Amino acid sequence: MKKILAITVSMLLCGTLFSQKIDDRLLKSFDENTLIDLKKNDVQKYNLLISSIGNAIEIVKLPLKKGKSKLLNEIILPKGKFNYLDLGLEIREENQYFKITNTDKMMIVKSFYVLRND
């Protein structure tokens, strides 16, 4: 009986610890407690943040507009592979647009809405 109780308690503790495991890539922008809370209380948003790591950024040719154009913040991109977390950015409710310095291109960081419906 004691062995069964010990095994049951061990399994419950392991399950709790395992369920709190978070994706380490998100620690660039979020503290561990925030991520544990998010995973527990808003699993959809947590999963969206993970899936967006690889597809939240899009690089496109800078559109040529006639008349006044909205001023974009400029950004210098690192060489090689990167994601929005590497750049210190976050996913927001609206798309974010950045002119890539010394190019004719811009970077779009997709919004929660776009990522949910992509």
Task: Tell me the per-residue pLDDT of 68-93, one tens digit each, with 9 for 90 and over.
Answer: 456 689 999 999 999 999 999 999 99
Residue of 70 and 9 predicted with greater confidence: 70
Residue 58 — φ and ψ, nearest 5°? -130, 135
- What pLDDT band is residue 64 in, cutting at 50, 70 and 90? confident
Residue 115 region by backbone torsions, left for phi larger than 0, else alpha for psi between -120 and 50, else beta: alpha
pLDDT exceeds cutoff 90 at 105: yes
Helices (H), the chain: 2-19, 32-41, 43-52, 112-117
* CA–CA distance, 113 with 110 (Å, rounded to integer): 8
pTM: 0.72
| Dihedral sign from CA coordinates of 8, 11, 15, 21 | positive
